[in-house]
A and B are shown apart, each in its own frame.
Chain A
Amino acid sequence: MKLLHSFTSSLIVSGACLASAASSWSFQDATIAIQSKGAGVGAGTKETLNPNTPLAKSVSLGATDTLKLLLTTTDGKKAKRPHQAFLTLTDPTTGLEESFVLSVKENGKGKVDLTQKDLPVQFLTSAKPIPASIVIGSFGSSTAYKSTAFDLNVSRDPNVPLAIPEPPTRYAAEQEIHHIFRDDPRSPPKIITLVFAAAVLGAVPVLLGVWATLGANVNHFGKAFGNAPISHGLFFGSILAMEGIFFLYYTSWNLFQTLPAATIVGSVAFLSGSRALSEVQERRLAGLR
């Protein structure tokens, strides 16, 4: 697009050199007027266009305004009707072009009216002023004319919402997507944990203390082991072993190591337990408990 532009502009330059040889298209008596709706005739701005230099000031087109371009096309010095008389708007960012045909009479007088309704939505939202050029050309040997005439500033009414159509699908790389991971759950501050853990652990010595004050003792230990040493040893031992197995299961063992061991220890506890407890029962019936 850009290249094409520079190409055409270089063409215009070369065309200008040729102008001395052959006649060339141009225009004269060109005026551009902005008329606001409701305002009387003659109100609004009016500028005169020069075929050789673009208008210094950009033309502002409001929401209800009408742009009126009037000119007389000339071939050489004579007014003449060309085959092509366009007002071409080019979006400076996207390169989008839109041409508006001037209706030209036999005597070369041409005019075009432009309102915001005529413009594609891209022009309405364009941030930069839109260069508007006048193109005049026809068959034969006369050099065609193309030059930027003025910059068009479209000032939209910000209160009127603009229906911008969905951009059509085009095959191109799409926006990257990165999955957003949920936050890992976080542990509370260690200090709270440690305080509570200490309190929980501290409950054990308190329990032992309370028991001690209540007169708890293990004085029958000797008696029990005297009466049934094997079954008591096995019973209490198997209970300890069972808790040990649980601890190993917690730290390192898997279920298949745990279950056989627990089964063995459990049956030992069952068999020895029944005997140990009968001994306990004897003591109870003897009034020693």
Chain B
Amino acid sequence: MPPKQRTPSSQPAPSSTSTPSKPTSSKAASNSMDAQAIATDIWNKYVDKTPQRVKLLDSFLAFLVVVGVLQFVYCVIVGNFPFNAFLSGFSATVGQFVLTASLRIQTNPENKSEFESISHERAFADFVFGSLLLHFFCVNFIN
């Protein structure tokens, strides 16, 4: 758990030292401190409260984002020839991201009340079906 270890060590040190030494420093500095503090807080909360299964799912989502961004940046740098390859490659990651995100929403224990009628397994079956269809379209379109 590297993030967990990082948070306690790095977080308190700057906040405690900077506030007394520069009381008159600009608001921006304190604001950024606040923003950082809020972000850290959210991160801690996420790490603590999220079930491990959802974290696995989230890391898959992050992976898709990285792959998608790489493809997009490549397209921006070298141009979109061959365009169909760009479309299918990029939309594969975007589509997969959307499908995975909906799986996450449906299986997240926090949303249990909203998706009472849909079992996790049913959601997963839909996810598998949708993903296979997406893969077929992408493979078909890239030529």
A contacts B directly (C-beta below 8 A): yes
Within B34-90, the residues touching A (CB, 8 Å) are 52-53, 55-56, 59-60, 62-63, 66-67, 70-71, 73-74, 77-79, 81-82
Instruction: Tell me whether B142 and A196 are in contact (CB under 8 A).
Output: no
Instruction: Tell me whether B119 and A192 are in contact (CB under 8 A).
Output: no
Given A192-B77, A273-B125, A281-B120: A211 in contact with B56 (beta carbons within 8 A): yes
With A and B bound together, what is the CA distance between A219 and B139 in angstroms? Answer: 32
Instruction: Tell me whether A193 and B52 are in contact (CB under 8 A).
Output: no
Instruction: Tell me whether B52 and A215 are in contact (CB under 8 A).
Output: yes
A262 at the interface (CB under 8 A from B): yes
Instruction: Tell me whether B70 and A273 are in contact (CB under 8 A).
Output: no
The A-B contact count (CB < 8 A) is 77
A83 at the interface (CB under 8 A from B): no
A178 at the interface (CB under 8 A from B): no
Given A185-B82, A214-B52: A246 in contact with B63 (beta carbons within 8 A): no
Instruction: Tell me whether B81 and A214 are in contact (CB under 8 A).
Output: no
With A and B bound together, what is the CA distance between A280 and B122 in angstroms? Answer: 11
B52: A residues at CB distance < 8 A:
214-215
Given A273-B128, A281-B119, A284-B120: A213 in contact with B60 (beta carbons within 8 A): no
B114 at the interface (CB under 8 A from A): no
Instruction: Tell me whether B78 and A242 are in contact (CB under 8 A).
Output: no
**What's the minimum C-beta distance from B77 to chain A, rounded to whole angstroms?**
7
Contact with B132, one of A206, A239, A250, A284 (Cβ below 8 angstroms): A239
Within A226-284, the residues touching B (CB, 8 Å) are 239, 242-243, 246-247, 249-250, 262, 266, 269, 273-274, 277-278, 280-281, 284
Given A192-B78, A213-B1, A214-B56: A206 in contact with B63 (beta carbons within 8 A): yes
B25 at the interface (CB under 8 A from A): no
Given A196-B74, A249-B140, A278-B121: A243 in contact with B135 (beta carbons within 8 A): yes
Q: What interface size band does chain A fall in?
A: 35 or more
Contact with B78, one of A193, A211, A250, A266 (Cβ below 8 angstroms): A193
Within B71-130, the residues touching A (CB, 8 Å) are 71, 73-74, 77-79, 81-82, 119-122, 124-125, 128
B142: A residues at CB distance < 8 A:
250
Given A243-B135, A246-B135, A278-B121: A207 in contact with B63 (beta carbons within 8 A): yes
Instruction: Tell me whether A203 and B70 are in contact (CB under 8 A).
Output: yes
With A and B bound together, what is the CA distance between A211 and B62 in angstroms? Answer: 11
B53: A residues at CB distance < 8 A:
289
When C-beta atoms are compared, the residue in chain A nearest to B60 turns out to be A207
B23 at the interface (CB under 8 A from A): no
Contact with B56, one of A185, A187, A216 (Cβ below 8 angstroms): A216
When C-beta atoms are compared, the residue in chain B nearest to A279 turns out to be B121
A215: B residues at CB distance < 8 A:
52
A167 at the interface (CB under 8 A from B): no
When C-beta atoms are compared, the residue in chain B nearest to A273 turns out to be B125
- The residue among A200, A249, A278 with the most chain B CB atoms within 10 A of its own CB is A200
**What's the minimum C-beta distance from B6 to chain A, rounded to whole angstroms?**
13
A sample of 8 cross-chain residue pairs with beta-carbon separation below 8 angstroms, ordered by A number, consists of: A196-B73, A203-B70, A207-B59, A249-B140, A269-B128, A273-B128, A280-B124, A284-B121
Query: Could you tell me which A residues sit within 8 Å of B by CB distance?
Result: 185-189, 192-193, 196, 199-200, 203-204, 206-207, 210-211, 213-216, 239, 242-243, 246-247, 249-250, 262, 266, 269, 273-274, 277-278, 280-281, 284, 289
Query: Could you tell me which B residues sit within 8 Å of A by CB distance?
Result: 1-2, 52-53, 55-56, 59-60, 62-63, 66-67, 70-71, 73-74, 77-79, 81-82, 119-122, 124-125, 128, 132, 135-136, 139-140, 142
